[in-house]
C-alpha cells in the first residue's frame, strides 16, 4: 500500500527526523509502504518526511535509471553490484564525504514536482547506516546512488535540494515554488 506524498510547503519537509531506536513491526511496515510509494511515483528515493513522518529513514532504488546515470559501490574496499543493494533502506544514516572532488548534476524531487536544477555535491561518499536487521553498515558509493543518498539524508534534516541552489537558479524556479507553496502550506 502506498502513502500520500507531502509537497513543497508542507511543514513535515522542514522537520528534522527522530532517530529510530528499535526496528519495530511498524517501522518494517512503513519501509514497505515507502518502497511501494517510491515505485508508484517513479522516484529513485524517498525520505520519511516526504510521507509526513519525522524519522531518520529513507529508501532508495537507482536501478530504473542506472543506464543513463551509473552508480558504483564498495563494501570493505571491494566493488559490489549496485543492483544487489536495491531497494536500499537507510535507517539513521550519516554521510561522510570522501575526498574533495565535487560534481554538479541535475536533481529533482517527488515533493517538488516540476523543479529540476543542478546541485553541487561530493562525488564520492561513505554512508553509515542501520539495516532493517538492526546491523550498522558502511557503504562507499559514487554516481547517482551517492547523489540520491545525500539528497534523501538532507530530507531527514529538513533540507531540500532547492536550499543548495544559487540565488539565480532559485529565482528561475520561484513562480513554480510559490505556486506549490500556496497549494501545500498547512496553516
* Domain assignment present for 67: yes
Q: Would you state the pLDDT for residue 186?
A: 63
DSSP, collapsed to helix, strand or coil, labels residue 20 as: coil
Among residues 44, 77, 6, 46, the alpha carbon closest in space to that of 144 is found at 44
Summarize the confidence of residues 165-187 as an average pLDDT: 89
pLDDT reported for residue 67: 82
Q: Coil, helix or strand for 105?
A: strand
Give 125's strand partners: 97, 141
**Structural domain of 63:** 11-175
Determine the distance from the C-alpha atom of residue 105 to the mean position of all C-alpha atoms in its chain, rounded to a whole number. Answer: 15
Q: Does 2 have pLDDT greater than 80?
A: yes
C-alpha cell at 60: 532508495
**2 within a domain of the structure (yes/no):** no
| Residue 183 falls inside a structural domain | no
pLDDT at 134 over 70: yes
Q: Is 5 domain-assigned?
A: no
Nearest 10 degrees: Cα torsion 38, 45, 162, 160: 90
What is the number of structural domains in the chain?
A: 1
State the DSSP code for 162: G
pTM over 0.75? The answer is yes
Q: Which residues are bridge partners to 157 per DSSP?
A: 16
- Predicted local confidence at residue 172, as pLDDT: 95
Q: How confident is the model at residue 185 (pLDDT cuts 50, 70, 90)?
A: confident
Confirm whether 143 is domain-assigned: yes
Any domain includes 184: no
Active-site residue, from 107, 140, 142, 152 = 152
- Residue 49 sits in a domain whose CATH number is 3.90.45.10
132 occurs within a structural domain: yes
Question: Which pLDDT score is estimated for 64?
Answer: 78
Residue 184 has a pLDDT of 84
- Catalytic site includes residue 152: yes
Residue with cell 536495491: 86
Give per-residue pLDDT as tens, 70-100. Answer: 999 999 999 999 999 999 999 999 999 999 9
Confidence category of residue 128, pLDDT binned at 50, 70, 90: very high
Spatial contact of 82 and 67, defined as CB atoms under 8 Å apart? no
Grid coordinates representing 103 are 560534481
Amino acid at each position: 500500500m502506498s502513502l500520500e506524498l507531502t509537497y513543497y510547503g508542507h511543514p513535515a519537509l522542514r522537520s528534522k527526523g527522530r532517530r529510530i531506536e528499535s526496528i519495530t513491526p511498524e517501522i518494517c511496515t512503513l519501509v514497505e509502504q515507502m518502497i511501494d510509494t517510491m515505485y508508484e511515483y517513479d522516484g529513485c528515493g524517498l525520505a520519511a518526511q516526504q510521507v509526513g513522518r519525522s524519522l531518520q529513514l529513507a529508501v532508495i532504488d537507482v536501478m530504473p535509471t542506472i543506464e543513463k546515470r551509473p552508480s558504483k559501490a564498495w563494501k570493505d574496499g571491494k566493488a559490489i553490484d549496485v543492483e544487489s543493494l536495491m531497494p536500499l533502506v537507510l535507517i539513521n544514516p550519516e554521510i561522510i564525504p570522501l575526498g574533495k572532488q565535487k560534481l554538479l548534476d541535475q536533481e529533482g524531487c517527488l515533493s517538488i514536482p516540476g523543479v529540476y536544477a543542478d546541485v553541487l555535491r561530493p562525488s564520492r561518499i561513505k554512508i553509515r547506516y542501520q539495516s532493517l536487521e538492526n546491523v550498522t553498515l558502511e557503504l562507499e558509493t559514487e554516481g547517482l546512488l551517492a547523489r540520491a543518498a545525500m539528497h534523501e539524508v538532507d530530507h531527514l534534516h529538513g533540507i531540500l535540494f532547492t536550499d543548495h541552489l544559487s540565488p539565480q537558479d532559485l529565482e528561475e524556479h520561484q513562480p513554480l515554488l510559490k505556486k506549490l507553496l500556496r497549494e501545500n502550506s498547512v496553516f
